[in-house]
């Protein structure tokens, strides 16, 4: 597995949803880009059950956090304005543990 530890900043307040017996929390995070004059990386993070409830109750916008979890790249197909199919790559993180700074 590819466990990683990231220091990120929360861009938007977390969203909590429930699916059957599972609680899911979704976050949009920002990670600094090491290249000069480049935009920061935007990450979509997902947490489940106990961790999701903890994040939803304590996370705030513009707060820095340390995340321990699994990182992967998700490909999304969409139709652009000129009616052509395009592929966009999104960085996603499955959160296993979270620490607040």
pLDDT tens-place string over residues 33-79:
888 889 998 999 999 999 999 999 998 889 999 999 999 888 888 88
pLDDT the model gives residue 6: 92
What DSSP string runs through 35-67?
STT-PPEEEEEEEEHHHHHHHHHH--TT-EEEE
Query: What domains are there in the chain, each with its CATH number?
Result: 3-100 (2.40.50.140)
Task: Name the band, by pLDDT with cuts 50, 70 and 90, for residue 1.
Answer: low
Contacts of 71 (CB under 8 A, 6+ apart): 2, 4, 6, 91, 92, 93
Task: Name the band, by pLDDT with cuts 50, 70 and 90, for residue 5.
Answer: very high
pLDDT the model gives residue 78: 87
Tokens of 99: 């620490």
Question: 15-19 and 22-31: which strand pairing?
Answer: antiparallel
Dihedral sign, Cα of residue 89, residue 6, residue 15, residue 19: positive
Task: Name the band, by pLDDT with cuts 50, 70 and 90, for residue 88.
Answer: confident
pLDDT at 101 over 90: no
Calpha distance 29→32 (Å, rounded): 10
pLDDT at 13 over 80: yes
| Contact (CB, 8 A) for 11 and 29 | yes
């Amino acid at each position: 597995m590819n466990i990683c530890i990231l220091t990120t900043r929360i861009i938007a307040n977390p969203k909590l949803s429930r699916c059957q017996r599972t609680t899911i929390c979704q976050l949009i995070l920002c990670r600094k880009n090491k290249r000069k004059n480049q935009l920061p990386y935007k990450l979509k993070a997902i947490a489940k059950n106990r961790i999701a409830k903890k994040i939803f109750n304590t996370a705030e916008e513009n707060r820095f956090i340390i995340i321990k979890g699994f990182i992967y790249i998700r490909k999304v197909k969409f139709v652009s304005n000129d009616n052509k199919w395009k592929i966009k790559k999104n960085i996603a993180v499955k959160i296993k543990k979270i620490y607040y700074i």
